[in-house]
């Protein structure tokens, strides 16, 4: 007669595997709860942050742009710009950018006459940058004071900053970049 094998070791193995499965399930469950809580926190944070933000700006279609090439020629300097004491050499950026920007070289005519030149004003622009190509220019800007810029110097002027030219060398030339191409200049009473 064959001996009956005891089921106890198999029963123990099954009980052990069931216990291991329960432990594993508990670990997975607690991990899921932690992940769910952290996701809930993240989502709550995202919701709070997004409540304070303005809607994303609508992206305007950019005008078609093309290449602008401009080589130096003295005859390209015209006295048809903003100031009577300056000549402007248009660099073709207005047309090339579809009116997004303007770039020109400004040649201030010497000698400087402070009575004509030194008038406090501002430009209603989005961006303005000036780079000194030749000579020097002395300016006043609100919040900055008087500054003399020499060849190789540059500066930006935030929108609507009050400023004026105080003096300049007889040979000064400036590169100016402005956005948008068309803008309003407001002269202020002294």
pLDDT band at 4 (very low <50, low <70, confident <90, very high): low
Do residues 35 and 86 both lie within one domain? no
Using the predicted structure, report yes or no on whether residue 24 has a pLDDT greater than 70: no
Do residues 90 and 180 both lie within one domain? yes
- Interval 110-131 mean pLDDT: 94
Do residues 84 and 116 both lie within one domain? yes
Do residues 174 and 82 both lie within one domain? yes
Domain membership of residue 123 (yes or no) is yes
Domain membership of residue 107 (yes or no) is yes
Sequence-separated (6 or more) residues with CB below 8 Å from residue 181: 93, 94, 97, 99, 100, 101, 102
pLDDT in the model for residue 65 = 92
Strands, E assignment, 73-126:
86-90, 102-108, 121-124
Do residues 91 and 153 both lie within one domain? yes
Q: Which domain holds residue 94?
A: 74-187
- Interval 121-141 mean pLDDT: 97
Domain membership of residue 80 (yes or no) is yes
Q: Domain with 175 in it: what CATH number?
A: 2.60.120.10
- Interval 19-41 mean pLDDT: 57
- Name the domain count of the chain: 2
Do residues 47 and 120 both lie within one domain? no
pLDDT band at 27 (very low <50, low <70, confident <90, very high): low
pLDDT in the model for residue 105 = 97
Domain membership of residue 58 (yes or no) is no
Do residues 166 and 109 both lie within one domain? yes
Do residues 26 and 78 both lie within one domain? no
Do residues 22 and 116 both lie within one domain? no
Do residues 117 and 30 both lie within one domain? no
Using the predicted structure, report yes or no on whether residue 103 has a pLDDT greater than 90: yes
- Interval 166-186 mean pLDDT: 95
- Tens of pLDDT, residues 67-91: 999 999 999 999 987 788 899 999 9
Domain membership of residue 61 (yes or no) is no
At residue 33, φ and ψ (nearest 5 deg) are -65, -45
Domain membership of residue 69 (yes or no) is no
Please tell me the pTM assigned to this model: 0.66
pLDDT band at 11 (very low <50, low <70, confident <90, very high): low
pLDDT in the model for residue 189 = 81
Do residues 35 and 99 both lie within one domain? no
Euclidean distance between CA atoms 181 and 65, whole angstroms: 14
Domain membership of residue 114 (yes or no) is yes
Do residues 85 and 30 both lie within one domain? no
Using the predicted structure, report yes or no on whether residue 170 has a pLDDT greater than 70: yes
Question: 41: left (phi > 0), else alpha (psi -120 to 50), else beta?
Answer: alpha
Strands, E assignment, 54-187:
86-90, 102-108, 121-124, 127-134, 136-141, 145-150, 154-156, 163-168, 173-179, 184-187
- Contact indicator for 188, 162 with CB cutoff of 8 Å: yes
pLDDT in the model for residue 75 = 93
Domain membership of residue 67 (yes or no) is no
Closest CA to 183 of 97, 123, 101: 123
């Amino acid at each position: 007669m064959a001996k009956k094998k005891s089921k106890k070791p198999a029963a123990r193995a099954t009980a052990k595997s069931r216990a291991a499965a329960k432990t594993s399930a508990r670990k997975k469950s607690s991990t899921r709860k932690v992940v769910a809580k952290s996701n809930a926190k993240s989502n709550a944070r995202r919701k709070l942050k997004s409540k304070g933000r303005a809607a994303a700006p609508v992206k305007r279609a950019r005008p078609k742009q093309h290449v602008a090439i401009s080589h130096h020629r003295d005859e390209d300097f015209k006295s048809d710009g903003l100031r009577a004491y300056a000549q402007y050499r248009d660099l073709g950026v207005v047309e090339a950018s579809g009116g997004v920007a303007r770039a020109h070289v400004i040649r201030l005519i010497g000698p400087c006459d402070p009575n004509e030149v030194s008038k406090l004003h501002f430009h209603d622009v989005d961006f303005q940058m000036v780079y000194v190509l030749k000579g020097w220019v002395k300016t006043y800007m609100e919040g900055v004071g008087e500054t003399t810029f020499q060849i190789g110097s540059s500066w930006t002027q935030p929108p609507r900053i009050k400023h004026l030219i105080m003096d300049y060398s007889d040979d000064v030339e400036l590169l100016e970049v402005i956005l948008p191409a068309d803008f309003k200049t407001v002269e202020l009473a002294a």
